């Protein structure tokens, strides 16, 4: 069995993000870059399947050259090999288009992605990929069970949980409660340095991925007006009753 | 005339409240392009849903029922929505950014070779939108370069659509869901007497300061009971298993904007604030005076929540008597 997992290089969620003065980007100098947290959960799920059902786990990242670091992190967790497609000017559709080409080559049984990237918050690439391939999808997965030629997935949806069967090959997107990712061990980190990491490009893959969504600029969000500190509960209640009229 | 097609969610004919902000977003887009708004309703109860949707004044309502649409599944639903969009000559397809919208609409976009923008917070013009990024610390102004555009609208950023007049012509659409590689097994509804987080007038949220699941029972719930409020939780608390996943408020959970939001024992990390900063009134209780939540709270009380909240419950009861 072969599982393809994607990891995206994103800004650390604890970093304070500043917009560049010209509004044409965000400042990334001095910002710690990490594996998108939901992608770590995706890698972990692939590794658990590998441990139970014997699989090859291939880690794919589409982005800047430095994303090789994030692939190495996944390899250190236990993935088998990595593929870096060096590309820029991407939107979800372009990413999915490139992924589809990699899927064509690698022919995985399962593709696992994180439900959204915490920089972009778009959450589209996995679904677009599934549609381009004509595959089924199971998004926001909180439980994955491999069956014969299919996968049974429980999904976190509004109002509860929905369980579906999807024929293999399929795309799954990982939600928060799917698993708790393992930390890479020191031996794992050492082994990762020797695992194969193929570096390629959309041109070398023979795919043209033109973004359909263009970022014109970034703006500051509207800030809330500062509030007041209240010294005690009676003051708070009085303000809620008389000022805010919220009682 | 240009058509903005809204995918209307319903449960056996009853329209979900989540549609209303999406209808407003669609109307804004339609105004920019000099177009009209149409609806698509799918699945069991679609004709009843179409009847119920007339009051929002769409020009037309496409109603599609089929055995293959018996239960919601992204693949067949996306195919039928895309087919309706083509039949309607829609320039835009809009849905609420619910889990269904997020699940289905990217597939619709792919079928229409359309660019898609998720979770818009504003419409700039017929092809340009605002959307929160980096947990709302940045607003992206984005343009879709394709002739057909697909968007999901963030529910807290658009007012609920008021009823309107419109032709409301209902057309039964001959749906062909195709062969689905996805198969419905079951749906387990979350059982709660509390209102839906996304719809509640008041939300009481707890963070790590509650020290454990008992904290939710002893501290959060009595306060929530006073208001018939929904209960929310931070990602840390959900991660720790003190509260179920569907109570998570934040960038990767639910985005809410109630009339009143109590932030109890939570520090106010950017990712949590991303999910509640649209609330009308925010009250924060935290023993750490440096907690970032105080930067967004209208009323901040520095103190021990285990003393403050029970006192607050008593004082509110007195104030109402």
- pLDDT, position B234: 96
Chain A contact for B296 (CB, 8 A cutoff): yes
Pairing between β-strand B90-96 and β-strand B149-153 as defined by DSSP bridges: parallel
In this complex, the residue of B128, B135, B188 whose CB is nearest that of residue A161 is B188
The shortest CB-CB distance from A237 to any of B109, B294, B316 is to B316
User: Do residue B296 and residue B209 come from a single domain?
Assistant: yes
- Residue B118 within a domain: yes
How far apart are alpha carbons A164 and A152 in whole angstroms? 6
* Tens-place pLDDT, residues A205-220: 999 999 999 999 999 9
Using DSSP, state whether A238 is helix, strand or coil.
helix
> Do residues B232 and B123 both lie within one domain?
no
Q: Has residue B60 been placed in a domain?
A: yes
Residues 85-114 on A with a CB inside 8 Å of B are: 91-93, 96
What ranges make up the beta strands (E) of A158-235? 160-167, 170-174, 197-200, 213-219, 228-229
Same domain, B103 and B230: no
A145: helix, strand or coil? strand
Which of A 172-191 lie inside 8 A of B, CB atoms? 175-177, 180
Determine, yes or no, domain membership for A246: no
Spatial CB neighbours of A69, under 8 Å, sequence gap ≥ 6? A9, A33
Return residues 112-171 of A near B (CB < 8 Å).
115-116, 118-128, 130-132, 134-140, 142, 152, 155-167, 170
Report the sign of the C-alpha dihedral through residues B117, B119, B121, B126, in that order.
positive
Residues B208 and B112 in one domain: no
pLDDT band at A232 (very low <50, low <70, confident <90, very high): very high
Does residue B190 register a pLDDT over 90? no
A186 class by beta-carbon count within 10 Å (0-12 exposed, 13-18 middle, 19+ buried): exposed
> Same domain for B206 and B309?
yes
Which of B17, B99, B251 should one mutate to test binding to chain A, selecting the residue with the greatest count of A CBs within 10 A? Answer: B99
pLDDT band at residue B241 using 50, 70 and 90 as cut-offs: confident
Q: Which of A125, A128, A216 sits opposite B141 (nearest CB)?
A: A216
Tell me whether residue B195 is in a domain.
no
Angle, vertex CA B49, rays to CA B44 and CA B50, nearest 5 = 115
Question: Does any domain span residue B187?
Answer: no
Are B117 and A128 a contacting pair at CB < 8 A?
A: no
Q: Looking at the domain assignment, is residue B179 inside a domain? A: no
Q: What is the largest CA-CA distance in chain A?
A: 69
Is the Cβ pair A124, B106 closer than 8 Å? yes
The contacts found for A16-24 with CB under 8 angstroms, 24 or more apart, are A16/B137, A16/B270, A17/B134, A17/B137, A17/B138, A19/A218, A19/A219, A19/A220, A19/B138, A20/A218, A23/A217, A23/A218, A23/A219, A24/A217, A24/A218
Kindly state whether residue A242 falls inside one of the protein's structural domains: no
Q: Taking CB atoms and an 8 Å cutoff, what residues of chain A touch B119?
A: 121-122
Which DSSP symbol is given to A185? P
Task: For residue range A149-166, list pLDDT tens digits in order.
Answer: 999 999 999 989 999 999
Distance CA A168, CA B98 (A): 26
Question: Would A235 be classed as within a structural domain?
Answer: no
Q: Is residue A232 part of a domain?
A: no
Strand boundaries in chain B, DSSP class E? 3-7, 10-11, 14-15, 36-42, 60-64, 90-96, 115-120, 122-125, 128-133, 138-144, 149-153, 169-172, 182-189, 202-206, 230-233, 260-264, 281-286, 299-302
* Nearest residue, CB atoms, A160 vs list B188, B252, B259: B188
- CB distance B138–A26 less than 8 Å? yes
Distances (CA, A) of A163 to A8, B83, B141: 27, 26, 36
Is A102 in contact with A205 (CB distance < 8 Å)? yes
Percent over 70 (pLDDT), chain A: 100
- Tallying the residues shown for chain A, one arrives at 247
- Has residue B180 been placed in a domain? no
In a domain, A209, yes or no: yes
Residue A228 lies in a domain: no
Contact B255, B158 (CB under 8 A): no
Percentage of the residues of chain B whose pLDDT score is greater than 70: 100
Query: Both B143 and B236 in a single domain?
Result: no
pLDDT tens, residue by residue, A99-112: 999 999 999 999 99
Give the residue on A whose Cα is nearest the Cα of B196. Answer: A159
Question: By residue range, what is the domain housing residue B217?
Answer: 202-320
Given a cut of 90, whether residue A203 has pLDDT beyond it is yes
Is B238 or A145 the better-scoring residue by pLDDT? A145
> Is the preceding peptide bond at A137 cis, omega within 30 degrees of 0?
no
Domain termination residue (choose one: B122, B154, B172): B172
Tell me the shortest Cα–Cα distance from B165 to chain A, in angstroms. 30
Residue A100, in any domain of the structure: yes
Task: Tell me how far apart the alpha carbons of residues B102 and A128 are, in angstroms, rounded to a whole number.
Answer: 11
Same domain, B46 and B157: yes
Question: So what's the pLDDT on residue A139?
Answer: 98
Say what the pTM is: 0.95
B141, B20: one domain: yes
Question: Where in the sequence is the domain holding A133, given as residue range(s)?
Answer: 2-219
Instruction: Supply the CATH number for residue B290's domain.
Output: 3.40.50.1220
Q: Is B198 helix (H, G, I), strand (E, B) or coil?
A: coil
CATH number at residue A24: 3.40.50.620
CA A105-A109-A111 angle, 5° bins: 80
What would the mean pLDDT of A85-105 be, rounded to a whole number?
97
The CATH number of whichever domain residue B132 belongs to comes to: 3.40.50.620
pLDDT tens digits along B55-74: 999 999 999 999 999 999 99
Which of A74, A161, A176, A200 lies closest to A123, judged by CA? A176
Query: Do the Cβ atoms of A230 and B186 come within 8 Å?
Result: no
Which residue in B110, B116, B316 is closest to A247 by CB distance?
B316
For range B234-254, the mean pLDDT: 91
Cβ neighbours of A130 in B, within 8 Å? 74-75, 107
Contact between A143 and A153 (Cβ < 8 Å)? yes
User: Is B191 a domain residue?
Assistant: no
pLDDT reported for residue B239: 86
pLDDT tens digits for A179-198?
999 999 999 999 999 999 99
Reported ipTM: the value is 0.96
Give the pLDDT confidence score for residue B79 in this predicted structure. 98
Residue A226, pLDDT > 90, answer: no
Phi-psi region of A128 (alpha: psi -120 to 50; beta: other; left: phi over 0): alpha
Residues B213 and B313 reside in one and the same domain: yes
- Residue A40 in contact with residue A65, Cβ under 8 Å? no
Q: Count of domains in chain B?
A: 2
Task: Answer whether residue B178 is part of any domain.
Answer: no
Query: Any chain B CB within 8 A of the CB of A228?
Result: yes
Same domain (yes/no): B12, B75: yes
Supply B8's token pair. Answer: 């209307």
B249: left (phi over 0), alpha (psi -120 to 50) or beta: beta
Element holding B105 (H helix, E strand): helix B99-111
Residue A241 lies in a domain: no
pLDDT over 90 (residue A74): yes
Q: Is the same domain home to B212 and B308?
A: yes
pLDDT value of residue B4 = 98
Mean pLDDT calculated for residue range A199-208: 97
């Amino acid at each position: 069995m072969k599982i393809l997992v994607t990891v995206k290089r994103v800004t650390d969620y604890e970093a304070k993000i500043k917009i560049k003065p010209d509004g044409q980007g965000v400042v990334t100098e001095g910002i710690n870059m990490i594996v998108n947290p939901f992608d770590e959960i995706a890698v972990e799920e692939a590794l658990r399947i590998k441990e139970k059902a014997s699989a090859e786990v291939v880690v794919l990242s589409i982005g800047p050259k430095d994303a090789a670091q994030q692939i190495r992190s996944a390899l250190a967790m236990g993935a088998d090999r990595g593929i870096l497609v060096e590309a820029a000017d991407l939107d979800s559709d372009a990413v999915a288009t490139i992924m589809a080409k990699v899927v064509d080559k690698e022919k995985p049984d399962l593709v696992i992605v994180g439900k959204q990237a915490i920089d972009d918050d778009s959450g589209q690439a996995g679904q677009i990929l599934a549609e381009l391939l004509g595959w089924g999808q199971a998004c926001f997965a909180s439980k994955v069970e491999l069956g014969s030629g299919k996968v049974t997935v429980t999904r976190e949806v509004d109002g509860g949980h929905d369980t579906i069967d999807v024929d293999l090959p399929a795309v799954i997107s990982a939600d928060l409660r799917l698993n708790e990712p393992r930390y890479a061990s020191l031996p794992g980190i050492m082994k990762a340095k020797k695992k194969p990491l193929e570096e390629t490009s959309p041109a070398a893959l023979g795919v043209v991925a033109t973004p359909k969504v263009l970022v014109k600029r970034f703006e500051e969000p509207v800030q809330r007006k500062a509030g007041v500190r209240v010294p005690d509960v009676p003051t708070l209640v009085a303000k809620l009753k008389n000022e805010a009229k919220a009682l | 005339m240009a058509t903005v097609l809204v995918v209307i969610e319903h449960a056996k004919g009853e329209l979900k409240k989540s549609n209303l902000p999406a209808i407003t977003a669609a109307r804004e887009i339609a105004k920019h392009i000099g177009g009209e708004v149409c609806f698509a309703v799918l699945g069991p109860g679609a004709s009843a849903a179409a009847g119920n949707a007339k009051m929002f004044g769409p020009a037309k309502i496409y109603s599609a029922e089929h055995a293959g649409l018996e239960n919601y599944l992204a693949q067949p639903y996306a195919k039928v929505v895309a087919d309706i969009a083509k039949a309607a000559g829609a320039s835009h397809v809009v849905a609420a950014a619910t889990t269904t919208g997020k699940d289905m609409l990217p597939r619709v976009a792919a079928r229409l070779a359309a660019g898609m923008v998720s979770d818009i917070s504003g419409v700039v013009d017929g092809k340009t939108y605002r959307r929160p990024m980096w947990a709302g610390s940045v607003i992206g102004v984005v343009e879709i370069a394709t002739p057909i555009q697909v968007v999901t609208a963030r529910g807290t950023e658009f007012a609920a659509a008021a009823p309107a007049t419109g032709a409301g012509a209902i057309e039964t659409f001959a749906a062909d869901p195709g062969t689905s590689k996805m198969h419905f097994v079951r749906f387990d509804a979350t059982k709660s007497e509390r209102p839906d987080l996304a719809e509640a007038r008041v939300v009481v949220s707890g963070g790590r300061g509650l020290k454990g699941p008992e904290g939710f029972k002893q501290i959060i719930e009595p306060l929530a009971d006073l208001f018939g409020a929904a209960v929310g939780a931070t990602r840390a608390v959900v991660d720790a298993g003190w509260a179920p996943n569907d109570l998570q408020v934040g960038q990767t959970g639910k985005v809410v904007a109630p009339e009143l939001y109590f932030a109890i024992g939570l520090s106010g990390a950017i990712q949590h604030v991303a999910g509640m900063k649209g609330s009308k009134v925010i009250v924060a209780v935290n023993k750490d005076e440096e907690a970032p939540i105080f930067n967004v709270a209208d009323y901040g009380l520095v103190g021990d929540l285990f003393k403050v909240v029970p006192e607050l419950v008593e004082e509110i009861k007195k104030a109402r008597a």
